[in-house]
């Protein structure tokens, strides 16, 4: 039983009330979430639920605040329902018709006991992660190289990641209309899809720095 994941139909919530009492306060379709607050474990590590993808939205907002001189049009989109089919990204990509797309998401930080060296994806504290490939996307080589160049020129700590399972909104952007050069910039995160997701403050900061510098210099490159 430990190795067999339970099915959704096997779960129920017992609130200690009779059916007619429950129906007065809960309706079919009401959302359920776990009561979990943000916490700083130390001066570098933070934990909370739903960093996937609240931290991506945070990086996006902070990037917009920090950009100084920019010579390209920027469309910042907080997409919905990425986890169930990239739905928000599909709609917004068709609407915006971007020339280039960068998804901001989390990636697996696998630096925990029991992970084999060949299974490592990213490590907390080793910088923002430039995605090379996932199950939806092979990142555009020109974007990847430009991100690397910008990071190295500005001494921004980064690592690269390859995800054999899962994907990001870059997959929807890439397939939009006649095709769009796309890539994902990721924030390394431990325990993804749990209520104790964990990030490193410096990885978040480096993600903001790299995204800001990328946008400030994007006009210099043809993708």
Residue 100: both structure tokens together: 């280039």
Are the CB atoms for 132 and 207 separated by under 8 Å? Answer: no
Site of tokens 């959302």? 31
Q: Compute, in degrees rounded to 10, the torsion defined by CA atoms 157, 155, 63, 33.
A: 10
Residue 139 DSSP symbol: -
The answer to whether residue 82 is catalytic is yes
Asked whether 187 and 204 are in contact (CB, 8 A), the reply is yes
Determine the straight-line distance between the first and last CA of the chain, rounded to whole angstroms.
50
Which letter does DSSP use for residue 5 in this model?
P
Instruction: Give the residue among 171, 145, 132, 154 at the shortest CA–CA distance from 223.
Output: 145
Handedness of CA 189, 96, 164, 135 (dihedral sign): positive
Q: Which of 62, 82, 97, 117 is catalytic?
A: 82
DSSP strand pairing (101-108 vs 39-40) = unpaired
Catalytic residues, by residue number, are 82
């Amino acid at each position: 039983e430990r190795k067999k994941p339970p099915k959704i139909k096997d779960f129920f919530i017992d609130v200690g009330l009779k059916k007619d009492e429950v129906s007065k306060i809960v309706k079919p379709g009401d959302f359920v979430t776990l009561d979990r607050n943000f916490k700083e474990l130390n001066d570098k590590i933070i934990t909370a639920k739903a960093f996937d993808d609240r931290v991506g939205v945070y990086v996006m907002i902070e990037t917009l605040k920090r950009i100084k001189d920019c010579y390209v049009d920027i469309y910042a989109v907080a997409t919905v329902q990425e986890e169930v089919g990239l739905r928000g990204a599909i709609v917004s990509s068709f609407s915006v018709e971007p020339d280039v797309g960068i998804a901001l998401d989390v990636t697996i930080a696998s630096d925990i006991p029991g992970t084999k060296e060949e299974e490592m994806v990213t490590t907390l504290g080793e910088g923002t992660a430039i995605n090379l490939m996932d199950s939806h996307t092979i990142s555009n080589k020109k974007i990847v190289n430009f991100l690397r160049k910008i990071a190295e020129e500005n001494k921004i700590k980064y690592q690269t990641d390859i995800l054999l399972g899962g994907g990001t909104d870059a997959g929807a952007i890439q397939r939009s209309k006649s095709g769009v050069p796309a890539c994902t910039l990721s924030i390394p995160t431990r325990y993804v899809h749990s209520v104790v997701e964990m990030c490193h403050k410096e990885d978040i900061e480096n993600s903001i720095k790299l995204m800001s510098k990328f946008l400030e210099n994007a006009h210099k490159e043809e993708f």
